Chains A and B, each alone.
Chain A
């Protein structure tokens, strides 16, 4: 098992290398001289030259890339052009809110979507099934910012149950922290819940037709035992896969959600960095998100082997 995980980690190295190359090339993919692009419209020639020098843009591409990678491997993501703060510091300050939002959304999704999907599959074709799947289509179709504003209007402005926007760190108490995250998590989770519920239903329907479910019924097992002991675990592989893939949705959605609810997280930082053409910050964030995504995929692969003894490692 341990050697399997090690082998998988080694296998992710080429992926990370390609991602790094791509992220670094961002600067060059944009048309024109990178220094001019970074300096912006109102910059004087001296400003451009200063940026070129400080970023080492006058050196050959491969050497730039090499020293950039070297610095990253030592934990140095560079310095923001706009704030002159180290990128790692800036990311560190914004990591908490985004991570909180993503974890709460992920938990909310699993707790809501999986049981809904199981219920829909069990009652397939019934009114309950249709209502659940109807909601899934609804959740799919609404953009995050629309759901966000509607939720904020109803629950924060009209009913005044929850705060309209903002973020409170976990260090100031669990409830204040959670209070601020409920509405954003629902808004962000809508698409995700719809997706996972649909996949859960489809996977469960497939499994419920298998012979071993009939065997379980022949044993006289109750519906709960059949659904949760025999069926759900067998349906787990596609469900886990989609939950993992959905993390990418969360990353993209977090950018919008944080804007709607004024959460000072990485999403906001990303938007600010793009608007300011703060390339070192953009590169740092994209690299971090890619790394998280690769890590999530690694975790999914390991989960497969825990769920299904037939998968060899």
Chain B
């Protein structure tokens, strides 16, 4: 087709690592037409980002194109060198990265960083470049652009930084824009604003866009064509509608099943074959607590202020029964993590009280709480399993440590048995126990984190975005695991998340936080189906649903 802007032909990319050569991309073929937005979807390690980097020639030194062609306007990008290459980079094709804050130079004013891109490709004066940079800041809808020109990345929010990245990427009017996970790590509402902006700019300037993402829902909302990648190959390429209604490839089926939607239930997240194992437990209903049972947790008018600033959390009250699951949702900065850490007694509240099992624990200083008998009962699973495990502890040590500290176990066979039992409960193969975190996958590390938290048989488990760093298929399994643990062991779950679809599935009740105070709370399904406040409605609407977005697709 003569319309094709980019034509990737049997591309192969390999990385040289210490453990030998890894084939990241094993022969993919795809085309992008002028002005089209193509979704490239896959989980981590599928080779989707590597494809993007190979196209823009930004592969690491260890990565090498070992076969195939990347034809951009008929010219093979893989063979370009020196000045020819630089004329392409940032001018005819440009790229937007994941984690916008890290992608900007921390010690250079953003105006200069945009001007850098312009001056690299246009022979104009510095003042003219500065004027253009200001125009671009306006185009990406940054408020008060004159003042922001001299701002540094750390003074801007994540969404703002990504807008600056977009401004840099579009500064020379590229024909092709590759967006690599552009909104991962941003709030749902910010994600929507940034993606809408990106789609709008791409349409207005006639740019072709490749949207690389792990989020099928996001791709479905903005792309008319989606290519699904698995282990370096494209397994399926279709319109979102076909992909969701009639996926052909087994992997696509699994991916579609694992992506939470507005209506899915926990048990829907895996395909038929995988469902058998959990079915027995799931079907058992949870007995309602006897009338008059005191709540497990009661939080009264909790408040937290940092350094005389305004309150991070104010007037927060809630109750939880044993075995209940409650979701705590809100955008970043809404105070949900602060609240969960206060309840875990990792930080001290400024005001208010926390009552656990009839006993006030809010006034026990956080640094002394490890001596309280309730330390065993309240445990936390942290956000990032990669960061929250000690790299020098094996999986066994991680799980054994709380048992030794809090349960007074002294090692030997008894300890080994308890650790193995915990590992079995979270579905962690026992032969993985001697391994160190870097030898485990993301999902396995998440299991170690959960096994560690449940080792002392807590009655309340606080989960701080436990699946945010995981692929959807791994997330599905972890969510099922949590739900099973709750039913089997009657553990109450306080689930902190910005992913409303996940909260809706896992939690009986949901509390919506904004700027440190409760906006709305209630039974999860009712709350999401009929949000009473504008803020909750905005949050719910911002979730990219699996349903194809006909309105937006038509607008493009």
Interface, chain A (partner B; CB < 8 A): 210-212, 214-222, 225, 229-230, 233-234, 307-310
Contact = CB atoms under 8 A, between A and B. Distances in A.
Interface stretch (B98-106, B195-203, B453-461, B469-477): B98-106
A212 B105 contact: yes
A144 B89 CA distance: 49
Nearest to B151: A309
A220 B104 contact: no
Interface string B97-129: 101001111111000000011001100000000
24 contacts: A212-B103, A214-B103, A215-B97, A215-B165, A218-B58, A218-B94, A219-B89, A219-B117, A219-B120, A220-B86, A220-B87, A220-B120, A221-B86, A222-B86, A225-B116, A230-B105, A234-B105, A234-B106, A307-B107, A308-B107, A309-B107, A309-B152, A309-B154, A310-B106
B544 interface: no
B140 interface: no
Interface in B22-52: none
Interface string B75-103: 00000000001111111001101010011
Contact of A220 (B91, B107, B165): B91
Given A211-B99, A309-B152, A219 B105 contact: no
A73 B388 CA distance: 54
Nearest to B112: A229
Contacts of A218: 56, 58, 89-90, 94-95, 97, 169
B451 to A, nearest CB: 33
B168 interface: yes
Contacts of B152: 309-310
B89 A212 contact: no
A310 B108 CA distance: 11
A234 B102 contact: no
A215 B104 contact: yes
Nearest to A215: B103
B139 to A, nearest CB: 17
Given A225-B116, A310-B152, A310-B154, A216 B105 contact: yes
Given A211-B99, A310-B152, A220 B106 contact: no
A211 B85 CA distance: 20
A217 B61 CA distance: 13
Contacts of B94: 218-219
A225 B106 CA distance: 16
B116 A221 contact: yes
A42 to B, nearest CB: 63
B126 to A, nearest CB: 13
B116 A212 contact: no
A307 B106 CA distance: 11
Contacts of A222: 86, 120
A308 B89 CA distance: 28
Given A211-B99, A214-B97, A230 B108 contact: yes
Contact of B121 (A211, A217, A220): A220
A81 to B, nearest CB: 53
Contacts of A225: 116, 120
A124 to B, nearest CB: 9
Contacts of A217: 58, 89
B106 A219 contact: no
A219 B107 contact: no
Contact of A211 (B88, B89, B102): B102
A216 B102 contact: no
A210 B105 CA distance: 9
Contacts of A211: 97, 99, 102-103
A219 B90 contact: yes
Contacts of A214: 58, 97, 103
A216 B58 contact: no
B555 to A, nearest CB: 28
Nearest to A231: B105
Given A220-B85, A222-B86, A222-B120, 16 more contacts: A210-B102, A211-B97, A212-B104, A215-B104, A218-B169, A219-B90, A219-B168, A220-B86, A220-B88, A220-B90, A220-B91, A221-B117, A229-B108, A230-B105, A233-B108, A310-B152
A275 B112 CA distance: 59
Nearest to B108: A230
A220 B99 contact: no
Contacts of B104: 212, 215
A215 B112 CA distance: 14
